[in-house]
Amino acid sequence: MASSREKRLSFSAGLRDGLPIGLGYFPVSFGFGILALSGGVPALGAFLISALNLTSAGQVAGLSFITAAGALTELALSQLIINLRYSLMGISLSQRLSPRFTLPHRLLASAFITDEVYAVASSRREPLEPAYWYGLACPPYLGWTAGTLAGALAGDLLPASLTSALGIAIYGMFLAMLLPPAREDRAVLFTVLCAAILSSAVSLIPVFSFLASGLGVILCAVLAAAAAALCFPRAKTPEGEEAGRA
Amino acid sequence: MLELSFILPYVLVMAGVTYLSRALPFSFFRKKIKNRFLLSFLYYLPYAVLSALTFPFIFSSTGSTATALVGTAAALLLAYLKMPLLVVALASSAAVFLSSFFLA
Task: Encode pLDDT of A171-200 as tens digits.
Answer: 888 899 899 999 999 999 999 999 999 999
pLDDT score, position A240: 37
- The ipTM of this complex is 0.84
Residue, of B95 and A164, whose pLDDT is higher: B95
Asked whether residue A135 falls in the same domain as residue A27, the answer is yes
Residues on chain B touching A24 (C-beta within 8 angstroms)? 85, 89
**Nearest CA-CA distance, residue B47 and chain A, Å:** 6
Would an 8 Å CB–CB cutoff place B29 in contact with chain A? yes
Q: Are residues A127 and A229 in the same domain?
A: no
Is there a contact between B37 and A233 if contact means CB atoms under 8 Å apart? yes
pLDDT tens readout for residues A33-51: 888 888 899 999 999 999 9
pLDDT digits (tens, 9 = 90+) for B49-67: 889 888 988 898 888 999 9
Cβ contacts from A onto B, under 8 A: 325
Band of the pLDDT at B104, cuts 50, 70, 90?
A: low
**Percent of chain A scored above 70 by pLDDT?**
91
Amino acid type, B44: Y
Answer whether the bond into residue B56 is a cis peptide, omega within 30°: yes
Tell me, yes or no, whether A96 and A149 share the same domain: yes
Q: Do A144 and A104 share a domain, yes or no?
A: yes
Residue A77 backbone dihedrals phi, psi, to 5 degrees? -65, -45
Q: List CB contacts (< 8 A) between A194 and chain B.
A: 48
- Has residue A152 been placed in a domain? yes
Asked whether the beta carbons of residue B85 and residue A20 sit closer than 8 angstroms, the reply is yes
- Both A99 and A15 in one domain: the answer is yes
**Nearest Cβ partner of A76 from B17, B30, B36?**
B17
pLDDT at A88: 86
Number of domains chain A is built from? 2
Please determine, for residue B14, whether its predicted confidence score (pLDDT) is greater than 70.
yes
Nearest to A172 among B50, B64, B93 (CB): B93
B84, pLDDT greater than 60:
yes
User: A244 and B43 in contact by Cβ < 8 A?
Assistant: yes
Do A111 and A198 share a domain, yes or no?
Answer: no
Indicate whether A177 belongs to any domain.
Answer: no
Establish if A176 belongs to a structural domain. Answer: no
**Measured between CB atoms, which of A75, A180, A226 is closest to B82?**
A180
- pLDDT at position A212 over 70: no
Domain segments of chain B as ranges:
57-104
Q: Is residue A174 part of a domain?
A: no
Does A39 lie in the same domain as A157?
Answer: yes
User: Is B34 at the interface with chain A, CB within 8 A?
Assistant: no
Q: How far is B28 from chain A (nearest CA, A)?
A: 8
Would an 8 Å CB–CB cutoff place B73 in contact with chain A?
no
Q: Judge: B14–A103 Cβ closer than 8 Å, yes or no.
A: no
Res A244: pLDDT: 40
Q: Give the model's confidence band at A157: pLDDT under 50 very low, under 70 low, under 90 confident, else very high.
A: confident
For residues A112 and A34, membership in a common domain is answered with yes
Do B46 and A122 lie within an 8 Å CB cutoff? Answer: yes
Distance CA(B33)–CA(A13), nearest Å, equals 28
Is pLDDT of A159 > 50? yes
Residues A129 and A213 in one domain: no
Q: Is residue A171 part of a domain?
A: no
A143, pLDDT greater than 80: yes
| Range B61-65, long-range pairs (CB < 8 A, 24+ positions) | B61/A167, B61/A168, B61/A171, B62/A164, B62/A165, B62/A167, B62/A168, B62/B96, B62/B100, B63/A160, B63/A164, B63/A167, B64/A164, B64/B100, B64/B103, B64/B104
User: What is the distance between the alpha carbons of residues A64 and A58, in angstroms, rounded to a whole number?
Assistant: 10
Domain that holds residue A122: 4-166
The mean predicted confidence, pLDDT, of chain A is 86
What's the rounded Cα separation, in Å, for the pair A18 and A145? 15
A27 to B93: CB separation less than 8 angstroms, yes or no: yes
A160 with A196, same domain: the answer is no
Q: Same domain for A156 and A198?
A: no
Dump pLDDT digits (tens) for A52-99.
999 987 888 788 889 888 889 888 988 887 788 899 889 989 989 999
**Does the residue A226 lie in any domain?**
yes
